[in-house]
Structure 1
Amino acid sequence: MQRKAFPVLYVSSVRRAVEFYALLGYKSVYQFPLEGDPHYVGLERGDSSLGIADTSWPEAQLGITVGTAPRFELFVYVDDVGAEVETFRAAGYEVLQEPANMPWGERQAYVLDPDRNPVALATPI
């Protein structure tokens, strides 16, 4: 029995979200349906996993609607915060907070994902 837990992010465009998280090194390991526009994509990056699901899923399956952003904050450790920020900036994503040294011993910045959820990028100092 597998004892793994991972978040499922509800997004307005699965393809656009997958492109965003690919910039952080996430790789697609599963897609449903297998052909055509995906409604769900499973991503992995090392030991980290994310599910990416269309916002229509919780309403269709659970009878609940997705609220407005931000709906979550994702915290991701990277090798070089400054380089990652420039990668996202060059790809046209908004940088919410420029890299800065934090008093708890990390260099940290924030970018916004395509649904305007904050994604923290951090490197231990």
Structure 2
Amino acid sequence: MPGGKAFPVLYVTDVQRSLRFYGLLGYESTYQFPLEGDPHYVGLDRGDSSLGIANAEWPEAQLGISVGTGPRFELFVYVDDVDAEVERFRAAGYPILQEPATMPWGERQAYLADPEGNPVALATPI
């Protein structure tokens, strides 16, 4: 099977709002369309990890399917210090779904919600 990069595309109702959130996680914009003005799509990278952020109108316009209102995915992100990151996101006004806790599998983990209400796990190996 041919190799190549694969990454999820997140459908969002407000591209700029999601860019601010994922920017706090260390994702950096690498591409946007259209190239000028308000983007409908943005490619993001964080180390070896990539995400696409697309306006939620895209799947309906292109595929004839509607995006649901409930959580549509969970993202798991390793960070240097879960407790510090949770406090940084709390100070920025993002909801914390689960406070940091030490898990039996050897990680300190917490959950927060992205602007669309999707759970984002933050974890640090112990």
Q: TM-score, normalised by structure 2?
A: 0.97
Q: Give the drift of 1:2.
A: 6.2
Amino acid at match of 2:49: S
Q: Give the whole-Å Cα distance in 2 for the aligned partners of 1:121 and 1:110.
A: 6
How many percent of aligned residue pairs carry the same amino acid?
78
Residue 78 of structure 1 is matched in structure 2 by 79
Residue equivalent to 1:112? 113
Residue 71 of structure 1 aligns to a residue whose secondary structure is coil
Q: Matches of residues 1-16 of structure 1 in structure 2 within 5 Å?
A: 3-16=4-17
- List gaps (5 residues or longer) in structure 1: none
TM-align CA RMSD? 1.0
In 1: Cα distance, 2:24 partner to 2:88 partner: 8
Amino acid at match of 2:8: P
1:14-33 equivalence runs, <5 A: 14-33=15-34
Q: Where does the alignment leave 5 or more consecutive residues of structure 2 unmatched?
A: none
1:76-125 CA distances to partner (integer Å, 9 max, x unpaired)?
A: 00000001101100110000000000011100000000000000000001
Distance 1:2 1:33 in 2: 28
Paired residues in the alignment total 125
The offset of 1:69, in angstroms, is 2.0
What's the CA shift for 1:5? Answer: 0.4
> For residues 27 and 53 of structure 1, what CA distance do their matches in structure 2 show?
15
> Normalising by the residue count of structure 1, what TM-score does the alignment of the two structures yield?
0.97
Aligned to 1:67: 68
